[in-house]
Chain A
Amino acid sequence: MNPQFIMDGLIAGALIGLGAIGVTLTYSILRFANFAHGEFLSWGAYLALAISGSIGFLSANLTKPIAPFSFGWSLPIAALLAVLLTGVLALALDAVLFGRLRSRGGAVIILVMASFGASLALRSLLEFLFTSKPAYYTKALQIAVRLGGGLRATPDQLLVLGVTLVVVIAIHLLLTRSEIGRSMRAVSENPALAGIAGIDVRRIIRFVWFIGAALACIAGIMTGLLVQIRPYLGHDLLLPLFAAAILGGIGSVPGAMIAGLIVGLSEAAAVQLVGAEWRAAVSFVILVLVLLLRPRGLFGRPA
């Protein structure tokens, strides 16, 4: 077995884990599976594409690759703006759709169905705006560097791993050390008591939408950077995202990240062992096994 599967699995797992953190946070606070979460990855990737393209149009210098990476300064600048805009998109979606359903006391199944509808609408709008033809942030070629132990990775791939590590640590610290993180955990456990204790629950819900979408945007941009940008980018990652969120235990940020890596490594191993056509089945098998054997996941609290 080629050890390179470990590097491939870690990179795929990092992207899945980052997206799964958003899923797990929104699930734990809002108490429903948001199937439109994948669209935040796609929208984040396309927003960054549109903004970096506009920046490149204004200043060609900013598109020159920053050695050793394949992209210029236009992409990190665009990424910052795209993160903000994807957060705003999530807030808008909550304001016009999910928030209204919540205030009417809508059942969970109604919210889930609404998220399916939102997902379809957002994806179709992307296809309408950008067509379904794949797009790229850069077409510069990169040479993989040897890392020892038979492993290779391109500088972009190593950057993705580094960014993921920093973001995961930042989110973990936010949740465990900050006032808003404490409030998020309190709302996740008992929203009614959180209100009685003085927490503005609606503010926390807005914050979680923003953070979840921002993380999805980062994952989407990095997926677009390493693979390609397509309207189905996020939709195709939805099953691995949910598998990772449930395997990690709903509400657990480290759990989502570790589970993301497990899903990514399992997919990469499956490609080598049973063939690439079985890759997509891995997440499904993991999801079913976790739900059957340990529904609270690796780090989730008992119901």
Chain B
Amino acid sequence: MTAAVRPTPALATQALVAGYEPDLPIVRGVDLSVAAGELLVLLGPNGAGKSTLVKAIAGVVPIHGGTVSIGGRDITRLPAHRKISEGLAFVPQTENIFGTLSIHENLQIAAAVLPREKRAARIAAMYDRFPDLAVKPARLAGSLSGGQRQMLAIARALMVDPQVLILDEPSAGLSPRIVAEVFAMLTDINASGVTVVLVEQNVKAALAIASRAVILVEGKIRHEGSGESLQNDPILARLYLGTGQTMKADRS
């Protein structure tokens, strides 16, 4: 009898410990495994360490223990700019575009990671995918609306054709209509083969598109399940609201 070969996860962390200060870890031993093609949502109450976890994976917050790997390759000690070449793209929650640069320059910055001959075609592909950005590419990114900024930030991240795309609360500060557009876009991106990891406070909307969700509490994974099953799971409401009721309303 042969043991089943488990596919290599697109993104994995093992016993990950991270935080701004070594003595005060915010992420405290997280084992996370995201399969290729999954859309994983990271949930948890404020201060649970969701943002710190994804920032540590992206190389923005120091890692004090454990490992991070992409497609089986250890990227724990790589600086942020080299993680991109390994197929990891990250969209922070705020300040996720260069406001003093034009739309086109924002894309050019990300394109610089690619071979020179591929850059123009990749930028053109992003303009095809996000036609709003192509209207005035010389416009300063700082003058864009919230939704357009989020599109530019996602386009910037997709420039490198990542294996894994991580987004930290992309719905924050956006109107419900724009949030719906952003989530539809993320579903499309995921359907095109990109593994997506999404940190969200907008629980209901996030679970509706998630293939799986993980709940983080006090820097540790407390619970996980499919997006569908968690929508009516009382543990979610208990963790967020401290009650036994199910989640009936958005948290946004």
Contact = CB atoms under 8 A, between A and B. Distances in A.
B81 A189 contact: no
Contacts of B138: none
A301 B100 CA distance: 9
Given A182-B105, A186-B109, A193 B59 contact: no
A196 B58 contact: yes
A293 B59 CA distance: 40
Contacts of B101: 182, 185-186, 189
A170 interface: no
Q: Chain A interface secondary structure, helix, strand, loop or mixed?
A: helix
Contact of A190 (B80, B98, B105): B98
B67 interface: no
Given A182-B109, A183-B112, A196 B100 contact: no
The 6 tightest CB contacts between A and B, nearest first, are A195-B80, A198-B113, A198-B84, A195-B81, A200-B81, A186-B98
B90 A196 contact: yes
Contact of A193 (B96, B108, B113): B96
Interface string A192-216: 1111111111000000000000000
Contacts of B60: 192, 195-196
Nearest to A202: B79
B118 to A, nearest CB: 14
Given A179-B112, A182-B105, A183-B112, A195 B98 contact: no
Given A190-B98, A196-B92, A198-B110, 5 more contacts: A194-B98, A195-B60, A197-B84, A197-B109, A199-B112
Residue in B58, B80, B92, B156 with the greatest tally of chain A CB atoms within 10 Å: B80
Residue in A179, A185, A198 with the greatest tally of chain B CB atoms within 10 Å: A198
B81 A198 contact: yes
Nearest to A176: B105
B84 A193 contact: no
Contacts of A183: 109, 112
A189 B108 CA distance: 16
A194 B92 CA distance: 12
A199 B85 CA distance: 11
A192 B160 CA distance: 18
Contacts of B100: 185, 189, 301
B99 interface: yes
Given A185-B98, A193-B96, A199 B79 contact: no
B132 interface: no
Counting chain B residues whose Cβ lies within 8 A of the other chain, the interface size class is: 20 to 34
Given A195-B59, A198-B110, A199-B109, A189 B79 contact: no
Interface residues of A, number: 18
Contacts of B90: 196
Residue in B81, B92, B100, B156 with the greatest tally of chain A CB atoms within 10 Å: B81
Contacts of A196: 58-60, 80-81, 84, 90, 92
B95 interface: yes
15 contacts: A179-B108, A182-B109, A186-B101, A189-B99, A189-B101, A190-B95, A192-B80, A193-B96, A195-B80, A196-B80, A196-B81, A196-B90, A196-B92, A197-B109, A198-B85
B152 to A, nearest CB: 12
A115 B59 CA distance: 29
A199 B79 CA distance: 10
A195 B36 CA distance: 25
B112 A198 contact: yes
A198 B81 CA distance: 4
B109 A198 contact: yes
A249 B100 CA distance: 14
A27 B113 CA distance: 26
Contacts of A193: 92, 95-98
Nearest to B99: A189
Nearest to A199: B81
B140 to A, nearest CB: 10
Contacts of B95: 190, 193
B156 A197 contact: yes
Nearest to A251: B100
A301 B81 CA distance: 26
A189 B109 contact: no
B21 to A, nearest CB: 10
A199 B105 CA distance: 13
B171 to A, nearest CB: 19
Nearest to B110: A197
Given A195-B81, A201-B81, A182 B108 contact: yes
A24 to B, nearest CB: 15
Nearest to A179: B112
A223 B101 CA distance: 35
A179 B95 CA distance: 21
Residue in B79, B95, B112 with the greatest tally of chain A CB atoms within 10 Å: B112
Contacts of A186: 98, 101, 109
Contacts of B81: 194-201
B160 A198 contact: yes
Nearest to B89: A196
